[in-house]
């Protein structure tokens, strides 16, 4: 068997209450919790040889894109991996947290996002570069990279320090014990210059960031090759080299025009439900997460590039109602762009007719979701954002789980059952791997759907279709 322990294996759970993405049905946890468990204690087995390995699942209800995936995966997947390849008696969480210190700079150097939480005193590393410069021209010359997870830089860029403020992105930790500065000796017998720290991705709510470029403005009088020395205020020294040439062209940073009008182009203006449509954005704020909304509900985010452009593939959910739907992209400056997409679907739009006095009970439901989620009543409360969630394993009850929906109204609930004779319907969540049916919608004439599950949930609309009814 392959073993997962929900609150110590599932990588889609939040790190802490402030984590803006992720779920909480199994709890929250950082690297220590994902390291401190024994697969032998999860299931009742005869011997260790019965376990083939361990599994760390990642569902994607709340996050979008590779960088958000990486943020939830690392460093907890490293904890999980060591569970799989080491003996229980050899594992020590304090030793593991110390060994993780060197991993943070390596992840940054490979452009891998992760959660740089406070349990690890993240190490820092500097590496010198080979840079180019133009003769007799003062311009910024970047001579080193400095990886320092868990830190932020000052407004003027002259210092780097641990982020100890417990704000939206939570406090972190670092091997740095004081504010760090740097100087650069450009190797041409001029005075050493105060270095500037810059980064394309600062530490944020879903970003480790903190891979800095170290540089300064300098003017080389003559062409040639120069040995450069970078000295950090904690005593570390790095070496770099700058090649100066008359014909070198100084790169020009792209300038963002905040007066331009944002645009959204769709690869198609009509699409079927359960399909994808390419979306191209321009003119939004550069280098930031853009909120994506569908019919007024935020469904995720995408990341713009340095020019404020972005591309993503938008999924049109299965059984999206037929008709026009509004897609919106917005940035932190409240700039937005909207386009309409026409969905061709077998599912008819909601009539807007209110149906009251509906009750729902379930054979299994959770109580650890944010209220009113988890309970069967959330399926019939008229709120698209709330959902029922069955328990998984333990005391969760028999599989498949079912929900009974009752109404005193004359509703058509089965293909061969019409009117007051059938005021009751049962929906069944049949597969353990799909245990929750987010919302039950009441359409005119019959009880509606638990839309996210293609198998295991009884859909009256499909039953009618199979009977040849519209």
User: Residues 323, 371: one domain?
Assistant: no
CB distance 27 to 77 below 8 Å: no
Domain of residue 384 covers: 359-466
State how far the Cα of 272 lies from the Cα of 8, in Å rounded to an integer: 39
Work out the number of other CB atoms within 10 angstroms of the CB of residue 201. 16
State how far the Cα of 387 lies from the Cα of 305, in Å rounded to an integer: 35
Q: What is the pLDDT of residue 371?
A: 83
Asked whether residue 102 is assigned to any structural domain, the reply reads no
CB distance 212 to 160 below 8 Å: yes
Helix (H, G, I), strand (E, B) or coil at 31: helix
Domain boundary among 196, 212, 245: 245
User: Residues 49, 24: one domain?
Assistant: yes
State how far the Cα of 360 lies from the Cα of 380, in Å rounded to an integer: 7
Asked whether residue 449 is assigned to any structural domain, the reply reads yes
User: Residues 228, 289: one domain?
Assistant: no
State how far the Cα of 91 lies from the Cα of 246, in Å rounded to an integer: 58
Asked whether residue 79 is assigned to any structural domain, the reply reads yes
Domain boundary among 68, 91, 114: 91
User: Residues 277, 373: one domain?
Assistant: no
State how far the Cα of 25 lies from the Cα of 7, in Å rounded to an integer: 9
Work out the number of other CB atoms within 10 angstroms of the CB of residue 388. 30
**The pairing of beta strand 275-282 with beta strand 224-232:** unpaired
Asked whether residue 354 is assigned to any structural domain, the reply reads no
CA torsion 342-345-349-355 (nearest 10°) is -160
Q: 326: closest CA among 280, 269, 261, 267? A: 269
β-bridge partners, 237:
231
| Total domains in the fold of the chain | 4
User: Residues 85, 189: one domain?
Assistant: no
Asked whether residue 176 is assigned to any structural domain, the reply reads yes
State how far the Cα of 388 lies from the Cα of 460, in Å rounded to an integer: 19
CB distance 100 to 75 below 8 Å: yes
Work out the number of other CB atoms within 10 angstroms of the CB of residue 258. 12
β-bridge partners, 293:
298, 328
pLDDT per residue as tens, the chain (470 positions): 889 999 999 999 999 999 989 999 999 999 999 999 999 888 877 677 888 889 999 988 788 778 899 999 999 999 999 999 999 899 999 999 999 999 999 999 999 999 999 999 999 999 999 999 999 999 999 999 999 999 999 999 999 999 999 998 999 999 999 999 999 999 999 999 999 999 988 999 999 989 999 999 999 999 999 999 999 999 999 999 999 999 999 998 766 677 889 999 999 999 999 999 999 999 999 878 899 999 999 888 888 888 889 998 999 999 899 999 999 999 999 999 999 999 999 988 876 665 677 888 888 888 888 888 888 888 887 776 788 888 765 555 666 777 788 765 544 333 333 333 334 444 544 333 333 333 333 332 233 333 333 223 333 333 333 333 33
């Amino acid at each position: 068997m392959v073993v997962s322990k929900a609150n110590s294996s599932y990588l889609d759970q939040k790190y802490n209450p402030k984590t803006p993405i992720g779920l909480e049905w199994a709890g929250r946890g950082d690297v220590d919790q994902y390291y401190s468990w024994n697969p032998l204690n999860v299931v009742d087995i005869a011997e260790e040889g019965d376990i083939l390995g361990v599994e760390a699942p990642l569902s994607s209800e709340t996050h979008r894109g590779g960088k958000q995936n990486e943020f939830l995966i690392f460093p907890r997947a490293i904890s999980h991996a060591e569970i799989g390849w080491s003996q229980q008696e050899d594992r020590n969480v304090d030793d593991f947290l110390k060994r993780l210190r060197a991993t943070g700079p390596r992840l940054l150097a490979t452009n891998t996002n992760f959660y740089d939480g406070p349990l690890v005193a993240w190490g820092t590393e500097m590496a010198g570069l080979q840079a180019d410069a133009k003769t007799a021209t003062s311009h910024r010359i970047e001579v080193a990279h400095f990886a320092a997870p868990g830190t932020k830089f000052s407004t003027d860029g002259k210092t780097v320090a641990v982020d100890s403020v417990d704000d939206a992105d939570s406090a972190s930790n670092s091997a740095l014990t004081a504010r760090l500065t740097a100087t650069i000796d450009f190797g041409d017998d001029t005075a050493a210059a105060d270095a500037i720290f810059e980064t394309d991705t600062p530490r944020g709510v879903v970003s480790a960031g903190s891979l800095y470029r170290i540089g300064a403005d300098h003017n080389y009088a003559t062409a040639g090759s120069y040995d450069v020395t970078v000295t950090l205020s904690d005593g570390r020294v790095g070496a770099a080299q700058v090649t100066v040439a008359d014909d070198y062209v100084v790169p020009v940073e792209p300038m963002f025009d905040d007066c331009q009008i944002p645009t959204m182009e769709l690869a198609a203006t009509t699409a079927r439900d359960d399909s994808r449509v390419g979306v191209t954005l321009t003119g939004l704020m550069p280098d930031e997460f853009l909120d994506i909304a569908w019919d007024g509900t935020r469904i995720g985010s995408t990341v713009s590039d340095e020019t404020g452009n972005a591309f993503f593939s938008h999924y049109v959910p299965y059984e999206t109602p037929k008709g026009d739907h509004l897609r919106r992209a917005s940035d932190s400056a409240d700039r937005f762009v909207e386009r309409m997409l026409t969905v061709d679907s077998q599912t008819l739009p909601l009539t807007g007719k209110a149906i009251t006095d509906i009750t729902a009970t379930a054979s299994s439901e959770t109580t650890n979701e944010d209220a009113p989620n988890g309970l069967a009543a959330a399926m019939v409360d008229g709120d698209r954002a709330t959902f029922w969630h069955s328990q998984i394993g333990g005391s969760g009850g028999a599989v498949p789980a079912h929900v009974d929906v009752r109404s005193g109204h004359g509703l058509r609930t089965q293909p061969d059952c019409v009117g007051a004779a059938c005021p009751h319907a049962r929906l069944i969540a049949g597969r353990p791997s799909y245990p929750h049916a987010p919302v039950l919608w009441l359409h005119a004439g019959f009880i509606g759907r638990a839309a996210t599950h293609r198998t295991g949930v009884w859909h009256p609309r499909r039953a009618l279709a199979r009977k040849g009814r519209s």
